[in-house]
Amino acid sequence: MNLNPSLVPVSDHLRSKVAPIRAILSDVDGVMTDGRITYDSAGIETKQFHARDGLAIKLWMKTGFQFGILTARNSPIVQRRADELGIETVMQGFEQKWSAASNAIADWNLTPDQVCYIGDDLPDLAVMKHVGLSVAPADAASDVMAAADWVLKRDGGTGVIRELVESILRESGRWQEHLDAL
């Protein structure tokens, strides 16, 4: 298998955490976006999402795995992006994230050790300590990076979901099937 060493987890311990993953739950601001919240002169919120993250999410779900969004804020833009990508599990307005995450995990008929959570700030810590694989972008808050099993190379909003999905699929030997289907 020709694995890209800049993407694939290197330690055996991390590989053992990646192997059972069947679902990814992701925060939005600071992960799927760069964390900035912008309002135009009419008070309309805007966000920028990375196209490569979108493709990665679609590939992840095409593989048969679950992907969900879990955010403390409420934003119609998040729902629109989720709809574009076919993400069915969208949980907004949950400052206490673990209860929402545990409900999603149960709905998916999975156990916490089969779930990866990626977050960047303090409200994400509760979920990170309960799931099988906790991940942070390179620019996450220091407490989050310290708690994460894996700190990725990319910052939030710059393709960090792509880095995560591609690494997991490469590690499991399933990345090539997506390349072959192109």
26-65: pLDDT as tens digits: 999 999 999 998 999 999 889 999 999 999 999 999 999 9
Taking only the tens place, the pLDDT of each residue in 115-125 is: 999 999 999 99
Question: Is 27 one of the annotated binding-site residues?
Answer: yes
Q: Looking at residue 130, what is its pLDDT?
A: 98
What are the start-end ranges of the E strands in 56-123?
66-71, 89-92, 115-118
The CATH number, out of the four listed (3.40.50.720, 3.40.50.1460, 3.40.50.1000, 3.30.950.10), of the domain defined by the range 12-180: 3.40.50.1000
pLDDT score of 6: 55
- 4 or 7: which leads in pLDDT: 7
CA distance 84 to 177: 23
Query: pTM for the complete prediction?
Result: 0.92
Domain ranges of the chain: 12-180
> Which pLDDT belongs to residue 1?
35
- How far apart are the C-alpha atoms of 114 and 92, rounded to whole Å? 22
User: Do the annotations mark residue 29 as ligand-binding?
Assistant: yes
C-alpha distances in Å from residue 76, one per residue of 44, 45, 81, 86, 112: 10, 9, 9, 15, 28
Amino acid occupying residue 87: I
